[in-house]
A and B are shown apart, each in its own frame.
Chain A
Amino acid sequence: MSQSFNPADVRKAIIDQQKAQDRRKMLLNGVLLLLLLAAPFAMYPVFLMKILCFALFAVAFNLLFGFTGLLSFGHAAFLATGGYTTGYLLSNYSGLTTEVGIIAGTLVATALGLAFALLSIRRQGIYFAMVTLALAQLVYFFFVQSEFTGGEDGMHGIPRGHLFGLIDLSKNLNMYYFVLAVFIGCYLLVQRIVSSPYGQVLKAIKQNEPRAVSLGYNVDRYKVLAFVISAALAGLAGSMKSVVFQLASLNDAHWHMSGEVILMTLVGGMGTLLGPVVGATFVVNIEYQLSQGPLRDWVNPILGGIFVLTVLAFRSGIVGEIQKFLRKNLG
């Protein structure tokens, strides 16, 4: 090291750089927030809410898959459980305010998540994926059979009601800002989790589970907690979705939905914070655009093509590839 280097100067330079980076990040986040706030005036609010709900679903899934390395093939169960519970409560108990219904839906999905986690957490890799799939199939079976879900007709006419008994959610703008607030809250929560010491342990488990065990961590407890948080957020996404659309249907419980959230996360970039959000936006949009256009008979093969292409060429997803590009060219 040359003498002209003063450690204090170096530290200051690093801190300055960090600050500049934080400022850039703040600026970027501010712009994003403004865009999200203004979006319903430029785009159709219900569609934006759909994107936000799926983005939250994918963020939840990514916490487990991208950050902990556990591939759940049964996340549709939580989305559907949240949706059906909230829908059932709001439809049948008119005294409930909307947030109570949503919280209840989230709690039931959380409890289900705990049950799933306890049954599956000790299984490894593909066995874990398959147990979660099997459990989700049992949940699907229950929903098909139950009277209260309306079977394949679905549950319809769920009232949006009033938030805290005050704010009329039947107005799309009010509903949108509510969904946006919940989404941002959850996103920040996941960001906190990932950067916390707990999140570091999760990443360590993902990278090398035996080492995490030998370092004395109770790996199973960490994994169960990650699973439960992920299930809770997925349930919350389902609860909000049922209020937004005023319906809940079996599509949300089907294993194809579990596949779709994998696609969203993968396309956006698993293991990145923003990836699932980008991926959900991309998949929801492309599905919608395709189903309207001249290619409307070809949606499924095109989605299949996206799967294949992503796995072969863009395994880091949109956000991951951009990050790689930036790292290579800017620093």
Chain B
Amino acid sequence: MTMTKKLLTSAVASALMVSGAQAAISDNTVKIGYLADMSGTYRDLAGPNGLKALQMAIKDFGGTVNGAKIEVLSADDRNNPDASSSTVRRWVENDKVDMVAGLVASSVTIAVSKILEENDRLGIVSGSAASSITNEHCTPNHIHYVYDTYPLANGTASAVVKEGGKSWYLMTADYAFGHALEADVTRVVEANGGEIVGSVRHPFPTQDFSSFVLQAQASGADVVGLANAGSDTTNAITTASEFGVTQAGQTLAALLLFLTDVHALGVDTAQGIQLTTGWYWDMNDATREWSDRFMKETGVRPTMVHAGIYSSTLHYLNAVAAAGSDDAQTVRKQMMDTPINDMFATNGRIREDGRMVHDMYLAEVKTPAESKNEWDLYKILRTIPADEAYRPLSESKCKLVTN
């Protein structure tokens, strides 16, 4: 770069500063990197269909933002934090990626968020469950958009206790995630006047749950709570149904269950299970209209994570357009200042810890008689208002929150 050019650029830059627009969109391109599990355990949650949801958002937005191109890069996270950090570092340093979307396994999300913080780029986490992501691991550079374990445990446990399920037996996946979920549930159950009469910590992953189901039956608890995820939860539910847990009068409460899991189980096996979800495709005209389009692209109904990826990408692009910049902090501020009310979120807003809080829903899996087709799976029992659902800021350990 020659001297005159340099001077000219800085002159232009300062002129822009004066005129109020902080900085234009860098390279006249907004680059989004989509990082998710494309081939492993969490594939169905976000995976290749999440990329489709992201592309739908860009298309619906118009394909450009303030005249700047929108480009998408994507990669498989291999569920591996080092592989993912290599990818994201290269995205950020060489490819000038502005925002990273997707983000599923908690180990990957935490590793990526550190890199984003170092380089001051933005991450929107849609797939991860761990509530620590906006608690002890919070950064000013990521937003946790769809859900986390706190409202899941909170919503389901308090509802079930209030309906009379006072004594609980917990089946906990024996690793950090399960322990966190167990602690959350225990707190909620006890706060509502219930009690934990027993628990078992099972290895992750476990295929045969019959032994644990037997122990749960012997405990005589009203409710069997499943503080696990994925195939552990579906295996536990299948076995519980085989051993007649619900017929014998015990209630099953799954603390983390996705639409894809329930679809895999089928209503015969899963009927009557209560769960908390951030979104369901069949709630109203707007959700149905979007889900129909999604199904045309992918052949399946969207999970809350897919819908969240769509919604958060639109929210991000709107913020970039409004701020006239793709600078991470400028966009984040714009995103925080704008409430989110769309087909995905009601009463949504992003808090200073990066947590997007929005209304959550207590759902029950339909009976075979109620279910009209393979994706007609939930009935929504109750709305859990945004402010009640998530961990209050007063309990936050996030460094960005001043109590």
In the complex they form, whether A and B have CB atoms below 8 Å apart is answered with yes
Chain A residues within 8 Å of B, Cβ to Cβ: 44, 46-47, 50, 141, 144-145, 150-154, 156-157, 241, 245-247, 249-251, 287-288, 290-292, 296-300
A-B residue pairs in contact (CB < 8 Å), sample of 29: A44-B89, A44-B93, A46-B89, A47-B86, A141-B203, A144-B204, A145-B175, A151-B177, A152-B175, A152-B204, A153-B110, A153-B130, A154-B111, A156-B111, A156-B114, A245-B82, A247-B81, A247-B82, A247-B107, A249-B80, A287-B78, A287-B83, A288-B86, A291-B38, A291-B76, A291-B83, A292-B75, A297-B38, A297-B48
Give the contacts of B235-286 with A (CB-CB under 8 A). Answer: none
B303 interface residue per 8 A CB criterion: no
Q: Knowing A152-B106, A156-B137, A246-B114, say if A47 contacts B74 (CB, 8 Å).
A: no
Asked whether A156 lies within 8 Å of B82 as measured between CB atoms, the reply is no
Q: How far is the CB of A1 from chain B (nearest CB, A)?
A: 61
Q: How long is the Cα–Cα vector from A50 to B87 in the complex, in angstroms? A: 12
Asked whether A300 lies within 8 Å of B132 as measured between CB atoms, the reply is no
Q: How long is the Cα–Cα vector from A230 to B86 in the complex, in angstroms? A: 27
Asked whether A291 lies within 8 Å of B75 as measured between CB atoms, the reply is yes
Q: How far is the CB of A184 from chain B (nearest CB, A)?
A: 22
Interface centre among B38, B82, B132, B177 (most CB of A within 10 A): B82
Q: How far is the CB of B1 from chain A (nearest CB, A)?
A: 20
Q: How long is the Cα–Cα vector from A154 to B114 in the complex, in angstroms? A: 13
Q: Knowing A46-B86, A249-B82, say if A156 contacts B75 (CB, 8 Å).
A: no
Chain B residues within 8 Å of A, Cβ to Cβ: 38-39, 48, 73-83, 85-87, 89-90, 93-94, 105-107, 110-111, 114, 130, 132, 137, 174-177, 179, 203-204
16 more contacts with CB within 8 A, not counting A44-B94, A287-B78, A296-B39, are A44-B90, A47-B86, A50-B82, A151-B179, A152-B175, A152-B177, A152-B204, A153-B110, A156-B114, A247-B81, A247-B82, A247-B107, A251-B80, A290-B76, A296-B75, A297-B76
Note all chain B residues with C-beta closer than 8 A to A291: 38, 75-78, 83, 87
Asked whether B38 lies within 8 Å of A296 as measured between CB atoms, the reply is yes
Q: Knowing A152-B175, A152-B177, say if A250 contacts B93 (CB, 8 Å).
A: no
Q: Choose among B39, B83, B174 the residue that contacts A300 (Cβ–Cβ < 8 A).
A: B39
The residue on B at minimum CB distance from A151 is B176
Q: How long is the Cα–Cα vector from A287 to B77 in the complex, in angstroms? A: 11
Note all chain B residues with C-beta closer than 8 A to A290: 76
The 6 closest A-B pairs by CB, nearest first: A151-B176, A154-B107, A291-B76, A151-B175, A296-B76, A251-B80
Asked whether B76 lies within 8 Å of A299 as measured between CB atoms, the reply is yes
Q: How long is the Cα–Cα vector from A296 to B48 in the complex, in angstroms? A: 10
The residue on A at minimum CB distance from B176 is A151
